[in-house]
């Protein structure tokens, strides 16, 4: 298994007298190279589950294991090394660097810029419908275009796992369909973990985890 959650819970504001669970008693296993959808309404705990899986937040109870290693036993440096090497992230807020061009935003997460990495960045931008925008600055783009630049950046290192949190939130229907099609095709040999409230983008998913009030209904 690539990921395992065993009775994992996440609590915000642990030091407060009354604990509220963002997610509770999560038991899931995720195999490599699958497309997993995490579906649920706003506030149901989708992002929290993603943070647990990516080792961005620590489980208050239970364990979260990536590739045989329990996050709890790793220090921040080790976790950050795993994220840098194996994971690509696209969040609802895209965090592009304003003073860099679109092309250099995509390349900003690579170790060294080579002709091959530039070619790949151009390929990703074109595949995501952003042909001709490589030299623009983020402020010259629409929200939907910026979100696709963030997606190209998440893919540039061919990560083992792509985490997307409401990654199509600012895209219209047409570009959502195109971006998801490209993403699924590009990630045939990677694991895709996509958090959304929109079931239509999860077409073709191997597993859909329905989350409600911090709990998974059904489960894997």
Ligand X SMILES: Nc1ncnc2c1ncn2[C@@H]1O[C@H](COP(=O)(O)OP(=O)(O)O)[C@@H](O)[C@H]1O
- Name beta bridge partners: 194: 37, 164
Q: Cα–Cα distance between 215 and 220 in angstroms, integer? A: 13
From the list 102, 27, 11, 14, the residue with the least C-alpha distance to 63 is: 27
The option from ligand X, Mg ion, none interacting with 43 (CB < 5 to 8 A, set by class) reads ligand X
CB of 47 to Mg ion, least distance (A): 3
Q: How many residues sit close enough to ligand X to count as binding (CB under 6 A)?
A: 11
Given the rule CB under 6 A, which of 46-54, 85-93, 125-133, 171-179 is the region that contacts ligand X?
A: 46-54
Across the beta sheet with 20-30, the strand order is 20-30, 3-12, 61-66, 69-70
Q: Cα–Cα distance between 87 and 2 in angstroms, integer? A: 12
Asked if residue 14 binds ligand X (CB under 6 A), the reply is no
List the Cα angle 172/174/180 in 5-degree steps: 95
Asked if residue 47 binds Mg ion (CB under 5 A), the reply is yes
Number of H helices, E strands in the chain: 6, 10
Given the rule CB under 6 A, which of 28-36, 44-52, 81-89, 171-179 is the region that contacts ligand X?
A: 44-52
Q: Identify whether the C-beta of residue 169 lies closer than 8 Å to the C-beta of residue 197.
A: no
CB of 197 to Mg ion, least distance (A): 8
Asked if residue 111 binds ligand X (CB under 6 A), the reply is no
Q: From the list 43, 174, 199, 219, which residue makes contact with ligand X (rule: CB under 6 A)?
A: 43
The option from ligand X, Mg ion, none interacting with 13 (CB < 5 to 8 A, set by class) reads ligand X
Give the residue nearest to Mg ion (CB). 47
Select 44 or 170, whichever has its Cβ closest to ligand X. Answer: 44
Please, what sign has the CA dihedral across residues 207, 190, 168, 163? Answer: positive
CB of 195 to Mg ion, least distance (A): 6
Q: Cα–Cα distance between 220 and 209 in angstroms, integer? A: 8
Q: From the list 2, 5, 8, 22, which residue makes contact with ligand X (rule: CB under 6 A)?
A: 22
Interacting residue ranges for ligand X, rule: CB under 6 A: 12-13, 22, 40, 42-48
Interacting residue ranges for Mg ion, rule: CB under 5 A: 47
């Amino acid at each position: 298994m690539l990921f395992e959650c065993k009775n994992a819970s996440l609590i915000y504001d642990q030091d407060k007298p009354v604990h509220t669970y963002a997610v509770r008693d999560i038991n899931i296993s995720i195999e490599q190279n699958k497309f997993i959808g995490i579906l649920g309404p706003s506030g149901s705990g989708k992002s929290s589950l993603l943070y647990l899986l990516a080792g961005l937040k620590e489980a208050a109870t239970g364990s979260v294991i990536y590739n045989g290693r329990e996050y709890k036993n790793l220090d921040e440096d080790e976790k950050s090394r795993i994220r840098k090497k194996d994971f690509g992230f696209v969040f609802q807020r895209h965090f592009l660097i304003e003073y860099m061009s679109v092309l250099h935003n995509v390349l900003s997460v690579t170790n060294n810029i080579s002709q091959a990495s530039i070619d790949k960045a151009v390929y990703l931008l074109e595949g995501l419908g952003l042909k001709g925008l490589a030299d623009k600055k983020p402020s010259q783009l629409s929200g939907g275009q910026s979100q696709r630049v963030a997606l190209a950046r998440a893919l540039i290192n061919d990560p083992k796992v792509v985490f997307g949190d409401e990654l199509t939130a600012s895209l219209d229907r047409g570009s959502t369909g195109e971006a998801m099609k490209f993403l699924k095709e590009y990630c045939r040999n990677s694991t895709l973990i996509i958090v959304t409230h929109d079931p239509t983008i999860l077409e073709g998913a191997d597993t859909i985890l329905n989350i409600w009030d911090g709990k998974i209904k059904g489960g894997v």
